[in-house]
């Protein structure tokens, strides 16, 4: 029986290796994706966000504010329009992402200690640009507002130190944990590359059952006394080994060459990846078992694999999704994997915390393999 199993494994490994297209997808697809994604996010933090400042006041106070905006760390002032309409046109044409309009009475109101309103407009059609531009703008305007308030108090006779203490009586300190620089590359690159890997694995898994239909070798194996259970167990073992072999260069490149963060131990990450590979392969096996052709099986697998990353809660919180969808996505192994991946790479959780993620993946694998076995036996 062991000799038969080894023969089946050798046969399956040969079949996978001879399929040049599948071999290239499994081993080169994720690596190419990792390199491209890292190159895309190599800047790590958005800088040089194009902005414009319209100074309608042209007072000393407004010019000081313009200078502060011009010197902002992540902004690049590329235009100084003379009206709000010009700012609007620049945003509409995509020349700038953010614009600041300083009103004509800005300096006078600041000198009198009155509220002075500065208009800040941001192009919200690109959420990444808009969020970063807003953050950079608010940082400048908060500083400018505090300085203006201190000057107003000094003009009323307070000592500069007293005025400063009044404005600094409540200080909010902003501190980002686990990813202090808010590095985009650290956040998305590995997850996007693993998303490519899981889609490639799903593509291969969907051939495990339907690939045997009508094959002469299947008749030979049945004649040799190889049971269905032993046949597909050996084939599955080969697939899982190939999946893990394909992910190893990806991890090596990510953690050793690109220095992406990994706060848990590498063996724990590999074990978690293996549990996900088993669950993913189980889903692919189930799709392969009830498909009428290899094309159908691939379609079923891709319908599941393609949107799963968006639905996993990695880039958009599960809590922000409709309650019904929150429950539905829990049947997808990708949801548990990418959620757990975030905790493992960033926070190094203890076993009691990460255990449910392991269990969920193993349960999904067991259910899918069991359902596939029932379907195959009835055929």
Q: What percent of the chain has pLDDT over 90?
A: 30
Half-sphere exposure (Cβ direction) of 101: Cα atoms closer than 13 Å: 15
b/e sequence 24-39, b meaning 16+ C-beta within 10 Å: ebbbebbbebbeebbe
- Rounded Cα distance, 64 and 51, in Å: 17
Compare 219 and 56 and report the one with higher pLDDT. 56
pLDDT at 28 over 80: no
Residue 54 — pLDDT band, cuts 50, 70, 90?
A: very high
pLDDT at 298: 80
The residue with greater pLDDT, 125 or 42, is: 125
Higher pLDDT, 197 or 226: 197
Residue 338 has pLDDT above 70, yes or no: yes
User: Cα 173 to chain center, whole Å?
Assistant: 27
Q: Is 12 exposed, middle or buried (0-12, 13-18, 19+ CB in 10 A)?
A: buried
Q: Which residue has the higher pLDDT, 93 or 154?
A: 93
For residue 274, what pLDDT is reported?
96
Report pLDDT digits (tens) over 40-51: 777 767 778 899
State the pLDDT at residue 36: 80
What does the pLDDT read at residue 211?
60
Asked if residue 231 lies in contact with residue 375, where contact means CB atoms within 8 angstroms, the answer is: no
Asked if residue 171 has pLDDT above 80, the reply is: no
Residue 52 main-chain phi, psi, to 5 deg: -140, 150
Q: What count of Cα atoms within 13 Å lies in the side-chain half-sphere of residue 100? A: 29
Residue for token pair 């130190």: 161
Nearest to 332 by CA among 355, 353, 313: 313
Taking the C-alpha atoms of residue 202 and residue 305, their distance in angstroms, rounded to an integer, is 7
In contact, 320 and 348? CB cutoff 8 Å: no
pLDDT of residue 10 exceeding 60, the answer is yes
Judge whether residue 300 has pLDDT over 60: yes
pLDDT band at 213 (very low <50, low <70, confident <90, very high): low
Task: Name the pLDDT band for 374 (thresholds 50, 70, 90).
Answer: confident
For the cut 60, the answer to whether the pLDDT of residue 217 exceeds it is no
- What are 344-366's pLDDT values in tens digits? 999 999 999 999 999 999 999 99
The whole-angstrom separation of Cα 375 and Cα 155 is 84
Average the pLDDT over 270-292 and give the result.
91
User: For every residue of 66-98, which 3-state class applies, written as one string?
Assistant: HHHHHCCCCEEEEECCCCHHHHHHHHHCCCCCE
Would you state the pLDDT for residue 356?
Answer: 95
Query: pLDDT confidence of 164, banded at 50, 70, 90?
Result: low
Of 118-127, 131-140, 223-232, 247-256, the one with minimum mean pLDDT is 223-232
**pLDDT score for 5:** 58
Per-residue pLDDT band at 9 (split at 50, 70, 90):
low
**118-132, 330-344, 346-360: which range is least confident on average?**
118-132
Q: For residue 267, what pLDDT band results from cuts at 50, 70 and 90? A: very high
- Name the more confident of 173 and 93: 93
User: Does position 233 have pLDDT exceeding 70, yes or no?
Assistant: yes
Closest by CA position to 250, among listed 306, 192, 166, 163: 192
User: What is the model's pLDDT at position 359?
Assistant: 96
**273: burial class by Cβ within 10 Å (0-12, 13-18, 19+)?**
buried
Task: Write down all domains in the chain, each with its CATH number in brackets.
Answer: 2-41+184-378 (no CATH), 49-167 (3.40.1710.10)
């Amino acid at each position: 029986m062991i000799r038969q199993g080894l023969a089946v494994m050798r046969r399956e490994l040969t079949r996978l290796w001879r399929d040049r297209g599948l071999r290239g997808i499994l081993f080169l697809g994720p690596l190419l994706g990792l390199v491209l994604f890292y190159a895309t996010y190599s800047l790590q933090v958005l800088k040089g966000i194009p902005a414009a400042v319209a100074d309608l006041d042209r007072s000393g106070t407004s010019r000081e504010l313009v200078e502060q905006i011009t010197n902002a760390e992540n902004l690049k002032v590329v235009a100084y329009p003379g009206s709000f309409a010009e700012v609007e046109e620049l945003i509409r044409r995509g020349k700038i992402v953010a614009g600041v309009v300083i009103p004509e009475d800005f300096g006078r109101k600041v000198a009198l200690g009155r509220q002075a309103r500065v208009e800040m407009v941001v192009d919200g059609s690109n959420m990444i640009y808009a969020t970063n531009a807003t953050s950079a703008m608010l940082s400048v305007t908060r500083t400018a507002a505090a300085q203006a308030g201190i000057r107003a108090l000094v003009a009323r006779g307070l000592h500069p130190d007293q005025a400063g203490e009044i404005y600094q009586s409540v200080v909010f300190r902003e501190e980002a944990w686990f990813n202090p620089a808010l590095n985009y590359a650290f956040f998305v690159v590995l997850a996007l590359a693993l998303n490519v890997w899981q889609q490639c694995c799903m593509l291969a898994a969907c051939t495990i059952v339907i690939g045997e239909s009508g094959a002469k070798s299947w008749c030979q194996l049945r004649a040799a006394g190889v049971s269905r259970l032993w046949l597909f167990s050996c084939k599955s073992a080969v697939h899982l080994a190939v999946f893990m072999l394909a992910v190893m260069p990806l991890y090596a490149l990510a953690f050793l060459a690109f220095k992406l963060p990994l706060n848990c131990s590498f063996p724990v990450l590999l074990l978690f990846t293996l549990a996900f590979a088993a669950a993913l392969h189980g889903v692919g096996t189930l799709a392969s078992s009830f498909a009428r052709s290899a094309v159908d099986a691939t379609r079923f697998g891709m319908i599941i694999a393609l949107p799963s990353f968006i639905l996993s809660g990695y880039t958009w919180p599960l809590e922000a999704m409709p309650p019904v969808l929150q429950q539905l996505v829990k049947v997808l192994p990708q949801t548990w994997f990418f959620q757990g991946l975030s905790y493992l790479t960033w926070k190094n959780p203890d076993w009691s915390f990460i255990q449910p993620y392991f269990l969920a993946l193993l349960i999904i694998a067991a259910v899918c393999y069991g359902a596939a076995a029932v379907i195959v036996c009835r055929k």
